[in-house]
Structure 1
Amino acid sequence: MTPRARQAIECAEVIVGYDTYLDLIKELLTGKTTIGTGMMQEIDRCQAAVEQAMNGRKVAVISSGDPGVYGMAGLVLELVAKYPASVQPEVAVVPGISAVGAAAAILGAPLMHDFAVISLSDLLTPWEVIRKRVEMAAAGDFVIAIYNPKSIRRTSQIETVREIALQHRNPGTPVGIVHHATRDKENMIISTLDKFTNEHIDMFSLVIIGNSQTYVADGKMVTPRGYRL
Protein backbone atom coordinates (compact mmCIF):
# COMPACT_ATOMS: atom_id res chain seq x y z
CA MET A 1 0.00 0.00 0.00
CA THR A 2 1.30 3.45 -0.89
CA PRO A 3 0.97 6.40 1.52
CA ARG A 4 -1.45 8.03 -0.93
CA ALA A 5 -3.65 4.93 -0.94
CA ARG A 6 -3.68 4.80 2.85
CA GLN A 7 -4.66 8.45 2.97
CA ALA A 8 -7.54 7.83 0.54
CA ILE A 9 -8.85 5.06 2.78
CA GLU A 10 -8.52 7.17 5.91
CA CYS A 11 -10.39 10.07 4.28
CA ALA A 12 -13.25 7.94 2.92
CA GLU A 13 -16.61 7.55 4.66
CA VAL A 14 -17.50 4.30 2.88
CA ILE A 15 -15.10 1.44 2.09
CA VAL A 16 -16.11 -1.09 -0.56
CA GLY A 17 -14.26 -4.27 -1.45
CA TYR A 18 -13.90 -8.02 -1.63
CA ASP A 19 -14.34 -9.40 1.90
CA THR A 20 -10.81 -10.85 2.00
CA TYR A 21 -9.28 -7.47 1.14
CA LEU A 22 -11.36 -5.67 3.76
CA ASP A 23 -10.01 -8.10 6.36
CA LEU A 24 -6.47 -7.07 5.38
CA ILE A 25 -7.14 -3.43 6.28
CA LYS A 26 -9.53 -3.88 9.22
CA GLU A 27 -7.43 -1.58 11.41
CA LEU A 28 -8.33 1.27 9.03
CA LEU A 29 -12.09 0.63 9.05
CA THR A 30 -13.07 1.88 12.50
CA GLY A 31 -16.05 4.22 12.30
CA LYS A 32 -16.56 3.70 8.58
CA THR A 33 -19.39 2.13 6.61
CA THR A 34 -18.18 -1.01 4.87
CA ILE A 35 -19.70 -2.86 1.92
CA GLY A 36 -18.13 -6.25 1.30
CA THR A 37 -18.97 -9.02 -1.16
CA GLY A 38 -17.56 -12.38 -2.09
CA MET A 39 -15.92 -13.55 -5.29
CA MET A 40 -17.88 -13.20 -8.56
CA GLN A 41 -19.79 -10.17 -7.23
CA GLU A 42 -17.54 -7.46 -8.61
CA ILE A 43 -20.25 -5.63 -10.54
CA ASP A 44 -22.58 -5.57 -7.54
CA ARG A 45 -20.05 -4.05 -5.18
CA CYS A 46 -18.76 -1.49 -7.68
CA GLN A 47 -22.34 -0.46 -8.49
CA ALA A 48 -22.99 -0.05 -4.78
CA ALA A 49 -19.89 2.12 -4.52
CA VAL A 50 -21.01 4.33 -7.41
CA GLU A 51 -24.47 4.75 -5.86
CA GLN A 52 -22.96 5.73 -2.53
CA ALA A 53 -20.79 8.32 -4.28
CA MET A 54 -23.76 9.69 -6.21
CA ASN A 55 -25.48 10.23 -2.86
CA GLY A 56 -22.64 12.54 -1.89
CA ARG A 57 -20.52 10.21 0.20
CA LYS A 58 -16.75 9.86 -0.16
CA VAL A 59 -16.09 6.26 -1.17
CA ALA A 60 -12.97 4.14 -1.47
CA VAL A 61 -13.10 0.95 -3.55
CA ILE A 62 -10.35 -1.43 -2.44
CA SER A 63 -8.36 -3.57 -4.85
CA SER A 64 -5.47 -5.92 -4.18
CA GLY A 65 -2.18 -4.43 -5.41
CA ASP A 66 -2.84 -1.81 -8.07
CA PRO A 67 -6.49 -1.00 -8.90
CA GLY A 68 -5.62 -0.68 -12.59
CA VAL A 69 -3.86 -4.06 -12.83
CA TYR A 70 -6.62 -6.70 -12.68
CA GLY A 71 -8.30 -4.45 -10.10
CA MET A 72 -11.60 -2.58 -9.95
CA ALA A 73 -10.63 0.79 -11.44
CA GLY A 74 -11.79 -0.04 -14.96
CA LEU A 75 -15.12 -1.45 -13.82
CA VAL A 76 -15.86 1.61 -11.67
CA LEU A 77 -15.10 3.92 -14.60
CA GLU A 78 -17.32 1.87 -16.91
CA LEU A 79 -20.23 2.01 -14.46
CA VAL A 80 -19.85 5.75 -13.85
CA ALA A 81 -19.84 6.36 -17.62
CA LYS A 82 -23.39 4.94 -17.86
CA TYR A 83 -24.76 8.00 -16.07
CA PRO A 84 -25.19 11.49 -17.58
CA ALA A 85 -22.10 13.62 -17.20
CA SER A 86 -24.04 16.12 -15.09
CA VAL A 87 -24.54 13.62 -12.25
CA GLN A 88 -21.36 11.53 -12.51
CA PRO A 89 -19.31 11.49 -9.30
CA GLU A 90 -15.66 12.41 -9.53
CA VAL A 91 -13.40 9.37 -9.74
CA ALA A 92 -9.71 9.30 -8.81
CA VAL A 93 -7.66 6.15 -9.43
CA VAL A 94 -5.06 5.89 -6.68
CA PRO A 95 -2.14 3.68 -7.70
CA GLY A 96 -0.88 0.95 -5.45
CA ILE A 97 1.98 -1.53 -5.66
CA SER A 98 1.14 -4.23 -8.19
CA ALA A 99 1.62 -7.87 -7.29
CA VAL A 100 4.02 -8.26 -10.22
CA GLY A 101 6.14 -5.35 -9.00
CA ALA A 102 6.17 -6.60 -5.42
CA ALA A 103 7.00 -10.16 -6.47
CA ALA A 104 9.76 -8.98 -8.79
CA ALA A 105 11.42 -7.03 -5.98
CA ILE A 106 11.31 -10.09 -3.72
CA LEU A 107 12.94 -12.23 -6.43
CA GLY A 108 15.60 -9.66 -7.35
CA ALA A 109 15.36 -7.89 -10.71
CA PRO A 110 13.64 -10.22 -13.19
CA LEU A 111 11.72 -7.44 -15.00
CA MET A 112 14.66 -5.31 -16.08
CA HIS A 113 13.79 -5.87 -19.73
CA ASP A 114 10.56 -6.23 -21.71
CA PHE A 115 7.93 -8.40 -20.05
CA ALA A 116 4.34 -9.55 -20.47
CA VAL A 117 1.78 -9.96 -17.68
CA ILE A 118 -0.83 -12.66 -18.29
CA SER A 119 -3.64 -13.96 -16.08
CA LEU A 120 -4.51 -17.63 -16.44
CA SER A 121 -8.02 -17.10 -15.10
CA ASP A 122 -10.50 -18.02 -17.83
CA LEU A 123 -13.58 -16.68 -16.03
CA LEU A 124 -13.67 -13.55 -18.22
CA THR A 125 -11.20 -14.43 -21.00
CA PRO A 126 -11.47 -17.60 -23.13
CA TRP A 127 -8.65 -20.08 -22.56
CA GLU A 128 -7.72 -20.14 -26.25
CA VAL A 129 -7.12 -16.39 -26.14
CA ILE A 130 -4.94 -16.77 -23.04
CA ARG A 131 -3.02 -19.63 -24.62
CA LYS A 132 -2.35 -17.55 -27.75
CA ARG A 133 -1.01 -14.70 -25.64
CA VAL A 134 1.33 -17.09 -23.82
CA GLU A 135 2.57 -18.46 -27.16
CA MET A 136 3.26 -14.98 -28.53
CA ALA A 137 5.03 -13.83 -25.35
CA ALA A 138 7.18 -16.96 -25.26
CA ALA A 139 8.06 -16.66 -28.95
CA GLY A 140 8.96 -12.98 -28.46
CA ASP A 141 11.35 -13.84 -25.60
CA PHE A 142 9.45 -11.71 -23.12
CA VAL A 143 9.84 -12.34 -19.43
CA ILE A 144 6.38 -13.68 -18.53
CA ALA A 145 4.62 -12.86 -15.27
CA ILE A 146 1.65 -15.10 -14.50
CA TYR A 147 -1.26 -13.97 -12.33
CA ASN A 148 -3.85 -16.51 -11.07
CA PRO A 149 -1.59 -19.40 -12.09
CA LYS A 150 -3.51 -22.25 -10.48
CA SER A 151 -6.67 -22.90 -8.48
CA ILE A 152 -8.48 -25.92 -7.09
CA ARG A 153 -10.57 -26.10 -10.26
CA ARG A 154 -7.97 -24.93 -12.75
CA THR A 155 -4.84 -27.08 -12.57
CA SER A 156 -3.69 -27.93 -16.10
CA GLN A 157 -3.18 -24.45 -17.56
CA ILE A 158 0.13 -23.76 -15.79
CA GLU A 159 1.44 -27.07 -17.16
CA THR A 160 0.47 -25.91 -20.64
CA VAL A 161 2.35 -22.63 -20.07
CA ARG A 162 5.44 -24.60 -19.11
CA GLU A 163 5.17 -26.77 -22.24
CA ILE A 164 4.76 -23.73 -24.51
CA ALA A 165 7.69 -21.89 -22.90
CA LEU A 166 9.92 -24.97 -23.25
CA GLN A 167 9.43 -24.79 -27.01
CA HIS A 168 11.18 -21.41 -27.02
CA ARG A 169 13.71 -21.37 -24.17
CA ASN A 170 16.18 -23.49 -22.27
CA PRO A 171 14.87 -25.95 -19.63
CA GLY A 172 17.21 -24.33 -17.11
CA THR A 173 15.61 -20.89 -17.53
CA PRO A 174 15.00 -19.42 -14.04
CA VAL A 175 11.42 -19.28 -12.82
CA GLY A 176 10.48 -17.44 -9.64
CA ILE A 177 7.40 -18.24 -7.55
CA VAL A 178 6.28 -15.80 -4.86
CA HIS A 179 3.48 -16.60 -2.42
CA HIS A 180 1.58 -13.90 -0.52
CA ALA A 181 3.83 -11.08 -1.76
CA THR A 182 4.21 -8.37 0.95
CA ARG A 183 1.80 -10.22 3.27
CA ASP A 184 2.43 -12.11 6.50
CA LYS A 185 2.94 -15.51 4.84
CA GLU A 186 5.33 -14.20 2.16
CA ASN A 187 7.81 -16.69 0.77
CA MET A 188 9.56 -17.28 -2.53
CA ILE A 189 11.43 -19.98 -4.38
CA ILE A 190 13.50 -19.92 -7.56
CA SER A 191 13.21 -23.00 -9.74
CA THR A 192 13.75 -23.80 -13.41
CA LEU A 193 11.44 -23.93 -16.38
CA ASP A 194 11.49 -27.72 -16.62
CA LYS A 195 10.72 -28.25 -12.92
CA PHE A 196 8.83 -25.26 -11.51
CA THR A 197 5.38 -26.87 -11.65
CA ASN A 198 6.57 -29.40 -9.08
CA GLU A 199 6.53 -26.56 -6.54
CA HIS A 200 3.47 -25.41 -4.61
CA ILE A 201 1.49 -22.96 -6.76
CA ASP A 202 -1.95 -21.55 -5.97
CA MET A 203 -4.09 -18.43 -6.38
CA PHE A 204 -1.94 -16.57 -3.85
CA SER A 205 1.12 -17.16 -6.02
CA LEU A 206 2.69 -15.10 -8.78
CA VAL A 207 5.01 -16.85 -11.23
CA ILE A 208 7.74 -15.06 -13.20
CA ILE A 209 9.37 -16.97 -16.08
CA GLY A 210 12.69 -15.51 -17.17
CA ASN A 211 13.69 -14.81 -20.75
CA SER A 212 16.67 -16.28 -22.60
CA GLN A 213 19.07 -13.94 -20.77
CA THR A 214 17.74 -14.26 -17.22
CA TYR A 215 20.13 -15.77 -14.69
CA VAL A 216 20.40 -16.36 -10.94
CA ALA A 217 23.19 -14.78 -8.88
CA ASP A 218 23.44 -14.99 -5.08
CA GLY A 219 19.89 -16.28 -4.88
CA LYS A 220 18.41 -13.43 -6.94
CA MET A 221 16.85 -13.52 -10.42
CA VAL A 222 18.34 -10.96 -12.79
CA THR A 223 17.27 -10.14 -16.35
CA PRO A 224 20.05 -7.95 -17.75
CA ARG A 225 19.07 -4.76 -19.53
CA GLY A 226 22.15 -4.95 -21.73
CA TYR A 227 24.53 -2.50 -20.09
CA ARG A 228 28.19 -3.15 -20.90
CA LEU A 229 29.93 -3.86 -17.62
Structure 2
Amino acid sequence: MDREQVTEFLGQVPLLQCLPGSSIRRIAEAVQVKHYEPGDYVAREGEPVDGLCIILDGQAEVSAPANTEEANRPDYVLNKYDYFGYGTNSSVHQVNVIAVTKLSCFVLPSQYGHLLQTKTIWNAEETPESHSLMEQILHLEKLEVDIFRGFTLPEAPTFNQVFGGQLIGQALAAASKTVDCLKLVHSLHAIFLIAGDNNMPIIYQVHRERDGTSFATRKVEAKQKGLVMFTLIVSFQVIILKVV
Protein backbone atom coordinates (compact mmCIF):
# COMPACT_ATOMS: atom_id res chain seq x y z
CA MET A 1 0.00 0.00 0.00
CA ASP A 2 1.25 3.48 -0.80
CA ARG A 3 1.04 6.36 1.70
CA GLU A 4 -2.28 7.64 0.35
CA GLN A 5 -3.86 4.18 0.65
CA VAL A 6 -2.55 3.81 4.21
CA THR A 7 -4.00 7.22 5.12
CA GLU A 8 -7.36 6.28 3.58
CA PHE A 9 -7.43 2.99 5.51
CA LEU A 10 -6.56 4.63 8.83
CA GLY A 11 -9.32 7.15 8.22
CA GLN A 12 -11.82 4.26 8.43
CA VAL A 13 -10.72 3.26 11.96
CA PRO A 14 -13.26 4.69 14.46
CA LEU A 15 -10.57 5.34 17.07
CA LEU A 16 -8.67 7.61 14.67
CA GLN A 17 -11.52 9.42 12.94
CA CYS A 18 -11.80 12.08 15.65
CA LEU A 19 -8.18 13.12 15.03
CA PRO A 20 -7.22 15.98 12.69
CA GLY A 21 -6.09 14.98 9.21
CA SER A 22 -2.54 16.11 10.02
CA SER A 23 -2.34 13.50 12.81
CA ILE A 24 -3.65 10.70 10.59
CA ARG A 25 -1.08 11.53 7.93
CA ARG A 26 1.71 11.46 10.53
CA ILE A 27 0.42 8.14 11.88
CA ALA A 28 0.41 6.78 8.30
CA GLU A 29 4.12 7.61 8.10
CA ALA A 30 4.90 5.94 11.44
CA VAL A 31 2.94 2.66 11.28
CA GLN A 32 4.66 -0.63 10.53
CA VAL A 33 3.10 -3.66 8.82
CA LYS A 34 3.33 -7.05 10.52
CA HIS A 35 2.13 -10.40 9.18
CA TYR A 36 1.09 -13.53 11.10
CA GLU A 37 0.20 -17.11 10.20
CA PRO A 38 -2.86 -18.90 11.65
CA GLY A 39 -2.11 -19.87 15.26
CA ASP A 40 0.60 -17.24 15.75
CA TYR A 41 0.45 -15.13 18.89
CA VAL A 42 -0.04 -11.47 18.02
CA ALA A 43 0.10 -10.57 21.70
CA ARG A 44 0.78 -12.69 24.80
CA GLU A 45 -0.66 -12.12 28.23
CA GLY A 46 1.99 -10.53 30.46
CA GLU A 47 4.26 -9.37 27.64
CA PRO A 48 5.00 -5.63 27.13
CA VAL A 49 2.63 -3.57 24.98
CA ASP A 50 4.69 -2.34 22.04
CA GLY A 51 2.06 0.00 20.59
CA LEU A 52 -1.36 0.27 19.00
CA CYS A 53 -2.21 -2.67 16.71
CA ILE A 54 -4.91 -2.27 14.01
CA ILE A 55 -6.21 -5.22 11.99
CA LEU A 56 -5.53 -4.63 8.31
CA ASP A 57 -6.71 -7.99 6.96
CA GLY A 58 -7.75 -11.32 8.47
CA GLN A 59 -9.09 -12.32 11.88
CA ALA A 60 -7.64 -12.66 15.37
CA GLU A 61 -9.11 -14.19 18.53
CA VAL A 62 -8.90 -12.51 21.92
CA SER A 63 -8.89 -14.78 24.96
CA ALA A 64 -9.34 -13.77 28.59
CA PRO A 65 -6.55 -14.06 31.19
CA ALA A 66 -5.73 -17.58 32.31
CA ASN A 67 -7.01 -16.98 35.85
CA THR A 68 -10.51 -15.97 34.64
CA GLU A 69 -13.29 -18.40 35.53
CA GLU A 70 -14.34 -20.53 32.56
CA ALA A 71 -17.93 -19.24 32.67
CA ASN A 72 -16.73 -15.64 32.51
CA ARG A 73 -14.15 -15.96 29.72
CA PRO A 74 -15.18 -13.35 27.08
CA ASP A 75 -13.43 -14.78 24.03
CA TYR A 76 -14.23 -12.86 20.84
CA VAL A 77 -12.90 -12.22 17.34
CA LEU A 78 -11.20 -9.09 15.97
CA ASN A 79 -11.78 -8.15 12.34
CA LYS A 80 -10.64 -5.46 9.89
CA TYR A 81 -10.41 -1.98 11.52
CA ASP A 82 -10.52 -3.45 15.05
CA TYR A 83 -7.60 -2.58 17.32
CA PHE A 84 -5.95 -3.37 20.65
CA GLY A 85 -3.08 -2.05 22.74
CA TYR A 86 -4.63 1.41 23.14
CA GLY A 87 -5.75 2.88 26.46
CA THR A 88 -4.38 0.02 28.53
CA ASN A 89 -3.94 0.67 32.26
CA SER A 90 -0.62 -1.16 32.40
CA SER A 91 2.45 -1.68 30.27
CA VAL A 92 1.71 -5.36 29.62
CA HIS A 93 -1.01 -7.18 27.66
CA GLN A 94 -3.89 -8.44 29.80
CA VAL A 95 -5.06 -11.03 27.24
CA ASN A 96 -3.77 -13.29 24.48
CA VAL A 97 -4.45 -12.31 20.87
CA ILE A 98 -4.03 -15.19 18.40
CA ALA A 99 -4.28 -15.13 14.60
CA VAL A 100 -7.25 -17.20 13.38
CA THR A 101 -6.43 -16.74 9.69
CA LYS A 102 -3.51 -15.21 7.86
CA LEU A 103 -3.32 -11.83 9.51
CA SER A 104 -1.86 -8.45 8.63
CA CYS A 105 -1.73 -5.56 11.09
CA PHE A 106 -0.63 -1.96 11.24
CA VAL A 107 1.39 -1.28 14.39
CA LEU A 108 1.94 2.23 15.70
CA PRO A 109 5.00 1.97 18.01
CA SER A 110 4.57 3.25 21.56
CA GLN A 111 6.90 6.22 20.98
CA TYR A 112 4.32 7.66 18.60
CA GLY A 113 1.43 7.32 21.06
CA HIS A 114 1.30 11.11 21.50
CA LEU A 115 -0.19 11.34 18.00
CA LEU A 116 -3.36 9.77 19.41
CA GLN A 117 -3.77 12.52 22.02
CA THR A 118 -3.86 15.73 19.99
CA LYS A 119 -5.19 18.88 21.63
CA THR A 120 -7.66 19.94 18.94
CA ILE A 121 -9.72 18.43 16.12
CA TRP A 122 -8.26 20.94 13.66
CA ASN A 123 -4.49 20.59 13.72
CA ALA A 124 -2.18 18.46 15.84
CA GLU A 125 0.18 21.37 16.55
CA GLU A 126 -2.43 23.93 17.63
CA THR A 127 -4.53 24.60 20.73
CA PRO A 128 -8.15 25.83 20.80
CA GLU A 129 -7.10 29.16 22.34
CA SER A 130 -5.20 30.07 19.14
CA HIS A 131 -8.33 29.83 16.98
CA SER A 132 -11.04 32.29 16.05
CA LEU A 133 -14.30 32.39 18.03
CA MET A 134 -16.07 30.35 15.34
CA GLU A 135 -13.43 27.62 15.49
CA GLN A 136 -13.59 27.57 19.29
CA ILE A 137 -17.37 27.11 19.13
CA LEU A 138 -16.95 24.20 16.71
CA HIS A 139 -14.31 22.53 18.91
CA LEU A 140 -15.95 19.54 20.66
CA GLU A 141 -14.87 17.39 23.57
CA LYS A 142 -14.75 13.69 22.71
CA LEU A 143 -16.47 11.60 25.39
CA GLU A 144 -16.52 8.25 23.60
CA VAL A 145 -16.38 6.92 20.05
CA ASP A 146 -19.20 8.76 18.21
CA ILE A 147 -20.17 10.83 21.29
CA PHE A 148 -19.07 14.47 21.68
CA ARG A 149 -19.84 17.37 24.00
CA GLY A 150 -20.20 20.99 22.92
CA PHE A 151 -20.67 24.24 24.82
CA THR A 152 -22.19 27.66 24.22
CA LEU A 153 -19.36 30.12 24.82
CA PRO A 154 -20.09 33.45 26.56
CA GLU A 155 -19.06 35.34 23.40
CA ALA A 156 -21.21 33.19 21.08
CA PRO A 157 -24.41 34.57 19.46
CA THR A 158 -27.47 33.89 21.65
CA PHE A 159 -31.20 34.56 21.39
CA ASN A 160 -32.32 33.38 24.84
CA GLN A 161 -31.72 29.87 23.52
CA VAL A 162 -28.98 27.99 21.66
CA PHE A 163 -28.40 29.63 18.27
CA GLY A 164 -29.51 27.35 15.43
CA GLY A 165 -26.32 27.96 13.45
CA GLN A 166 -24.29 26.75 16.43
CA LEU A 167 -26.26 23.48 16.55
CA ILE A 168 -25.76 22.90 12.82
CA GLY A 169 -22.05 23.72 13.00
CA GLN A 170 -21.30 21.61 16.08
CA ALA A 171 -23.36 18.66 14.82
CA LEU A 172 -21.56 18.83 11.47
CA ALA A 173 -18.20 18.98 13.28
CA ALA A 174 -19.18 15.86 15.25
CA ALA A 175 -20.27 13.99 12.10
CA SER A 176 -17.08 14.94 10.24
CA LYS A 177 -15.01 13.28 12.97
CA THR A 178 -16.61 9.89 12.23
CA VAL A 179 -15.71 9.68 8.52
CA ASP A 180 -12.33 9.41 6.88
CA CYS A 181 -10.54 12.65 6.12
CA LEU A 182 -10.88 12.16 2.33
CA LYS A 183 -14.70 12.55 2.43
CA LEU A 184 -16.16 16.06 2.38
CA VAL A 185 -19.69 17.31 3.08
CA HIS A 186 -22.05 16.71 0.15
CA SER A 187 -25.50 17.61 1.56
CA LEU A 188 -27.30 18.03 4.88
CA HIS A 189 -30.78 18.34 6.35
CA ALA A 190 -31.47 19.87 9.77
CA ILE A 191 -34.51 19.39 12.05
CA PHE A 192 -35.05 21.70 15.05
CA LEU A 193 -37.25 20.05 17.69
CA ILE A 194 -37.05 22.01 20.95
CA ALA A 195 -35.19 25.09 22.19
CA GLY A 196 -31.75 24.59 23.72
CA ASP A 197 -30.45 25.95 27.03
CA ASN A 198 -27.40 28.21 26.64
CA ASN A 199 -26.20 27.33 30.14
CA MET A 200 -25.98 23.58 29.61
CA PRO A 201 -23.55 21.48 27.59
CA ILE A 202 -24.89 19.75 24.49
CA ILE A 203 -24.27 16.04 23.86
CA TYR A 204 -23.89 15.05 20.21
CA GLN A 205 -24.53 11.36 19.42
CA VAL A 206 -23.43 10.31 15.94
CA HIS A 207 -25.11 7.34 14.26
CA ARG A 208 -23.28 5.69 11.35
CA GLU A 209 -26.11 5.17 8.88
CA ARG A 210 -23.99 4.20 5.85
CA ASP A 211 -20.34 3.77 4.93
CA GLY A 212 -19.65 3.30 1.24
CA THR A 213 -16.57 3.62 -0.92
CA SER A 214 -17.54 7.06 -2.22
CA PHE A 215 -20.31 8.17 0.14
CA ALA A 216 -21.00 8.09 3.88
CA THR A 217 -24.16 9.13 5.73
CA ARG A 218 -24.43 10.20 9.36
CA LYS A 219 -27.34 11.06 11.65
CA VAL A 220 -26.47 13.33 14.57
CA GLU A 221 -28.73 13.86 17.59
CA ALA A 222 -28.11 16.85 19.88
CA LYS A 223 -29.36 16.24 23.42
CA GLN A 224 -29.91 18.17 26.62
CA LYS A 225 -31.55 16.76 29.77
CA GLY A 226 -31.83 13.43 27.97
CA LEU A 227 -34.09 14.91 25.25
CA VAL A 228 -33.28 15.18 21.54
CA MET A 229 -33.45 18.88 20.71
CA PHE A 230 -31.99 18.81 17.19
CA THR A 231 -31.24 16.27 14.46
CA LEU A 232 -28.87 16.54 11.52
CA ILE A 233 -28.72 14.17 8.54
CA VAL A 234 -25.53 14.70 6.52
CA SER A 235 -23.88 12.90 3.62
CA PHE A 236 -20.18 12.96 2.73
CA GLN A 237 -18.54 12.25 -0.62
CA VAL A 238 -14.98 11.52 -1.68
CA ILE A 239 -13.78 14.52 -3.67
CA ILE A 240 -11.06 13.85 -6.25
CA LEU A 241 -9.26 16.96 -7.44
CA LYS A 242 -7.86 16.74 -10.96
CA VAL A 243 -4.97 18.93 -12.01
CA VAL A 244 -5.34 20.06 -15.63
**Structure-2-length-normalised TM-score:** 0.29
TM-score (norm 1): 0.30
